[in-house]
Structure formats: structure tokens, C-alpha cells
Amino acid sequence: MKVARFVRRSRIGAPAEEVFRWHAEPGAFQRLTPPWEPVEVLDEGGGLRNGAEVVLRVRLGPFPVRWVSRLSDCIPGRGFRDTQIRGPFALWRHTHLIEPAGGSASWLEDRIEYALPFGFLGRWLGGFFVRRKLDRLFEYRHRMTASAFSSPL
């Protein structure tokens, strides 16, 4: 299985603890889901805690797919990991890191390791599409997070 990696890192104008708390609030996933993404949250898993399972319904073209992720490595104020246990990828491991950046700022970093199903054929047919989709999705998520902490002029 060939594993691809994706990283997005942004400076956020708030302390790491506040950024983590914002991600832990009920409805955070919906706030971070772009309006163009056909994603339905079926179960939020009861919060950011080790062992919680998040259940989504995503669409791959006309087909609904159930995506189940298990949370682990939850460190309050610093981050967590979600790992797909059922879903559209052969492998999906998403690490959410929030690190102090001095003063009242922090770094938000999303690290994803993923593999597409169907081996070479999956990479050939979907590799570019998935990478472009991740770029767009995480640009949106980081912008939404930053705007939640920016003060109006």
C-alpha cells in the first residue's frame, strides 16, 4: 500500500488551549465543513476523547458512503488523531496538532496519511483529485478557524 501525506499549517491568533476548546465544542465539525461538501454528521461521538467514534455519511459521486473514525491521542489543549475504521480510503490517519506560537498565538497543523483503495488504479484515477480536494478543504478549515479568533477592525 502506497501511503500519501498531506500537511497544512497556519498561525492562529489565539492561545493553543482556546483553539483546542473551539475544536472540541459541539458542532465544530459542521462549522469546519465547507458548504460545497456533501457530508452529514450521523454521530459526533460525544466529544474529543480517546475511543470516541465519529460517524459521517459522505457522497462519492451519487453513492452515499458511511465513514467511521475513532479518536485517539487526545491531549487537551494540544491535539488529537482520528483514524478511519470504515470508509472510502484504504488508510486514513489524521493528526490535528495545536502548538503554542508565543504570546497569544498558536500553530494549527493538520497531518494526514492516506492511501486510496484499488492500488495503482486508485492512485492513477483519484490521486490528483484527492490531493486537490484536501488542499481546498483544509484551506477552508484553517481560514474558518483563523476567522473565529480574529477581532473585527
What is the pLDDT, as a whole number, of residue 118? Answer: 61
What is the pLDDT, as a whole number, of residue 1? Answer: 82
What is the pLDDT, as a whole number, of residue 128? Answer: 67
Architecture, CATH, for domain 4-149: 2-Layer Sandwich (3.30)
Residues of the chain with pLDDT under 50: 121
The C-alpha cell at 70 is 475513532
What is the pLDDT, as a whole number, of residue 119? Answer: 60
What ranges do the domains of the chain cover? Answer: 4-149
Compute φ and ψ for 27, nearest 5 degrees.
90, 0
Say if residues 111 and 95 touch (Cβ distance below 8 Å): yes
What does the H/E/C string look like for the chain? CCCEEEEEEEEECCCHHHHHHHHHCCCHHHHCCCCCCCEEEEECCCCCCCCCEEEEEEEECCEEEEEEEEEEEEECCCEEEEEEEECCCCEEEEEEEEEECCCCCEEEEEEEEEECCCHHHHHHHHHHHHHHHHHHHHHHHHHHHHHHHCCCC
Instruction: Quote the pTM value.
Output: 0.90
Beta bridge partner(s), residue 71 = 82
What is the pLDDT, as a whole number, of residue 137? Answer: 96
State the Cα–Cα distance between residues 97 and 84, nearest whole angstrom: 18
Could you report the per-residue pLDDT of 48-86, keeping only the tens digit for each?
A: 899 999 999 998 888 899 999 999 999 999 999 999 999
